[in-house]
């Protein structure tokens, strides 16, 4: 019996991934309202009934996708702040963090998801709040912890690490993220060098927070 059950469950588990992939593509391309479960079933090449064996409703599927992406933030945070000690000096370390931050957030799929969550915030306020707490707020908290360590080590002069983390984040992301909320994905980084923008953000940040 134990040898048979995994084989029987395998198609269901595999179809769950196909459903998520198809739904993510359709939600991002068409929006939540314009996407039907029939659309998702057709894109995933499965029956609509199969979708309902995994997800009780379109709302459930949408929440699963949004929070599934939110769960990946811990891995991103590790890649963001862990390499800092390897940098040669303070400015080089912050440039590395800023560049990684910009490259991760200013990606078409991340911008599309952010726009989608914002667009549906009125319909799903609790989901939008949870996403904010698990993604932007979590990143700011991790950034604040790094800045607090640097301040304790006498390398920065910071009274409020969380506020400084917000300053750092918006210096890095303000311009491209603003463009990403209004412009087509192909135009977001047109004429914008993310590395140069990140480096400039670090210079401004250090002008305010470097130890005198």
Rounded Cα gap, residues 68 and 63, in angstroms: 8
pLDDT for residue 11: 43
| CA atoms of 49 and 39, how far apart (whole Å) | 13
Q: What percent of the chain has pLDDT over 90?
A: 71
> Is it the case that residue 10 has pLDDT exceeding 70?
no
pTM of the model: 0.84
Higher pLDDT, 82 or 207: 207
pLDDT of residue 15: 62
Contact 146, 169 (CB under 8 A): no
**For tokens 């995933």, what's the residue?**
44
Query: To which residue do tokens 């963001």 refer?
Result: 80
- Give the chain's mean pLDDT: 89
Q: What is the pLDDT of residues 101-157, one digit of tens each?
A: 999 999 988 898 899 999 999 999 999 999 999 999 999 999 999 999 999 999 999
**CATH of range 5-58; options 1.10.10.60, 1.10.10.10, 3.90.45.10, 3.40.190.10:** 1.10.10.60
Q: Which of these CATH numbers, 1.10.357.10, 1.10.3680.10, 2.40.160.20, 2.40.50.140, describes 71-209?
A: 1.10.357.10
pLDDT at 9: 39
Local confidence band at 59 (pLDDT 50, 70, 90 cut-offs): very high
Domain boundaries, given as residue ranges, for the chain: 5-58, 71-209
């Amino acid at each position: 019996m134990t040898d048979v059950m995994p084989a029987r469950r395998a198609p269901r588990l595999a179809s769950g991934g196909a459903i998520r992939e198809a739904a993510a593509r359709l939600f991002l391309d068409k929006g939540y309202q314009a996407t039907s479960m029939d659309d998702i079933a057709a894109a995933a090449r499965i029956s609509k009934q199969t979708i309902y064996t995994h997800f009780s409703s379109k709302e459930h599927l949408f929440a699963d996708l949004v929070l599934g992406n939110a769960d990946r933030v811990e891995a991103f945070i590790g890649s963001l702040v862990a390499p800092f000690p390897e940098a040669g000096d303070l400015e080089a370390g912050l440039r590395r963090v800023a560049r990684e931050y910009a490259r991760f957030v200013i990606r078409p799929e991340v911008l599309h998801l952010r726009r989608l969550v914002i667009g549906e915030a009125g319909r799903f306020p609790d989901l939008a709040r949870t996403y904010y707490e698990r993604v932007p707020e979590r990143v700011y908290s991790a950034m604040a912890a790094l800045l607090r360590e640097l301040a304790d080590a006498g390398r920065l002069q910071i009274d409020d690490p969380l506020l400084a983390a917000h300053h750092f984040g918006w210096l890095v992301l303000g311009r491209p993220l603003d463009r990403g909320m209004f412009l087509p994905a192909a135009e977001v980084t047109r004429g914008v060098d993310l590395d140069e923008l990140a480096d400039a953000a670090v210079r401004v940040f250090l002008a305010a927070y470097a130890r005198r």
